[in-house]
Amino acid sequence: MKSSFVVAALIALVLSACASVGSKPPLAEAAKPRALILISIDGFRADYLDRGVTPVLSSLAASGVRAAAMRPSFPSVTFPNHYTIVTGLRPDHHGIVNNTIEDAAMPGKVFKLSDHDVMTDPRWWNEGEPIWVGAEKAGVRTATLFWPGSEVEIRGVRPADWAAYDKTLAYTERVDRVLAWLDRTGETRPRFVTMYFESVDTQGHGFGPDSAEVSAALGDVDKALGRLVDGLRARGVEGSTDIVIVSDHGMAPTSQARVIDNDKIVDAQDARFAWYGRPFVGLEPLAGRTTQAEKALLGRHDHYDCWRKGEIPARHHFGTHRRIPSIFCLADVGWIFMSKSRPDTYPADGGAHGYDEGAPEMAGLFVASGPSFRKGATIPAFDNVDVYPMLARLLGVPAAANDSDPAGLSAALAP
Ligand code: AMP
Ligand code: ZN
Ligand code: ZN
């Protein structure tokens, strides 16, 4: 009787010990709530994932979700699309309608990536509410190691931790800074973090999407992702960290054999160029010259189309914002507008983006892995406006009004 009681008590003790081992996560995870890291690899075209040079990204996709493609919003350039990803608004609605912008409401000011003072004027950005603003307002701490707009006090709010964009900052240092943020405990530990890598885009412009230089840049970014994943694992927080990896657009090969001469599309007496893009240009007729400018420009031409801003095909969701020039011209994929009189940053024989957002060459990346996501799933192509409500849902913060599909990205989330 006595010995059977001891045996029963021992069994009970062992069982309860097993139960507590099984149900309790390791200490580090228990102490840290779920975090979400949003990573942008600028200019990562959807099919780069199948090049065999990004093993870490492939393993994240295998353990989580990958989309066949993420369609950018129009125009398929960097600042408009980064702001779309974090606001769920089309560029026509959030107001960052290009990388270079003028606004009649801000005479004499030109928004451009190289002019930090003008670019960080909140008036350019305030028409959207990026996820970090909504999160901070809801008491969810955020930290950004680069994202367009994150240096700006938008609607009076900036991420709790942010840094001025520095393209020379080594990728290892970027990863280590993010890991240091996640090492914090208590109220200063961020629950939402962004990261940004530019070299795949830079090499895509310089050497074209099919180049060895792009493959090398893909390898560099993948190594940084490996350092991040290893760092999370070493800290015991891999299982409590969601990672979402996206790109803003793809890249199309360009050639000096496919150049549209800006000096020939309209007489300089009839219109001025407000936007000098390679895949698109924007023009303003000069005083009293609208008829002449429209006659030269509007309609279909060899390798490009021009529209009045209000007549751009509806599927682009582009043309109502006051910052868009009166006449907008878009080149066929792979063709570029160039001016002999204007020096260019990149060679004609390289790559460009900014084309029709439905073109396969413009398709971007979506990979997500972590406890909130399905395991080993591939989802169909979707529009990048759908990322924002998913981020809001994962962070448990209210989503501001946006342009996403209500069903959105629920197919990516674990049941
Ligand atoms: P794009 O002209 O569309 O190819 O723009 C890509 C460039 O944007 C990259 O070369 C980056 O250096 C630059 N960029 C990305 N994020 C920022 C930022 N937060 N501030 C200034 N420039 C940026
Ligand atoms: Zn970009
Ligand atoms: Zn680019």
Query: Residue 237 in contact with residue 37, Cβ under 8 Å?
Result: no
Q: 29-252+357-412, what's its fold? A: Alkaline Phosphatase, subunit A (3.40.720)
CA of 248 relative to ligand 2 center, distance in Å: 5
Query: Residue 376 in contact with residue 21, Cβ under 8 Å?
Result: no
| Cβ(255) – ligand 1 distance below 6 Å | no
Which atom in ligand 1 lies closest to the alpha carbon of residue 354?
A: 3
Walk along the chain (415 residues) and give the pLDDT tens digit of each residue: 334 444 444 344 333 333 334 344 454 445 578 999 999 999 999 999 999 999 999 999 999 999 999 999 999 999 999 999 999 999 999 999 999 999 999 999 999 999 999 999 999 999 999 999 999 999 999 999 999 999 999 999 999 999 999 999 999 999 999 999 999 999 999 999 999 999 999 999 999 999 999 999 999 999 999 999 999 999 999 999 999 999 999 999 999 999 999 999 999 999 999 999 999 999 999 999 999 999 999 999 999 999 999 999 999 999 999 999 999 999 999 999 999 888 787 889 999 999 999 999 999 999 999 999 999 999 999 999 999 999 999 999 999 999 999 788 999 999 9
Cα 72 from Cα 90, distance rounded (Å): 10
- Among protein residues, the one with the nearest Cα to ligand 1's atom 8 is 78
C-alpha distance from residue 225 to each of 178, 218, 359 (Å): 12, 11, 28
What are the extents of the domains in the chain? 29-252+357-412, 259-349
Closest by alpha carbon to 356, among 298, 304, 408? 304
Q: Which amino acids are annotated catalytic?
A: 78
Measured between alpha carbons, how far apart are the two ends of the chain, in Å? Answer: 49
| Cβ(42) – ligand 1 distance below 6 Å | yes
Cα 229 from Cα 348, distance rounded (Å): 37
Please, which contacts does 201-204 make with residues 24 or more away whose CB atoms are closer than 8 Å? 201/42, 201/43, 201/78, 201/251, 202/42, 202/43, 204/43, 204/45, 204/251, 204/350, 204/351, 204/353
- Among protein residues, the one with the nearest Cα to ligand 1's atom 22 is 113
Domain 259-349 has CATH 3.30.1360.180: yes
Where does 157-289 have alpha helices with state H? 171-183, 199-207, 212-234, 262-265
Query: How far out from the chain centre does Cα 127 lie?
Result: 18
**To which residue do tokens 């680069």 refer?**
146
What angle in degrees, to the nearest 10, is found between the helix axes of 55-63 and 212-234? 60
| Cβ(120) – ligand 1 distance below 6 Å | no
Query: Residue 93 in contact with residue 403, Cβ under 8 Å?
Result: yes
CA of 389 relative to ligand 3 center, distance in Å: 26
| Cβ(15) – ligand 1 distance below 6 Å | no
Closest by alpha carbon to 232, among 395, 56, 62, 65? 56
- Among protein residues, the one with the nearest Cα to ligand 1's atom 21 is 113
Strands annotated E in 225-376: 241-246, 252-253, 259-261, 271-276, 280-285, 299-301, 304-308, 327-331, 336-338, 351-352, 366-369
DSSP 8-state symbol, 259: E
The helix (run of H) or strand (run of E) holding residue 4 is helix 2-23
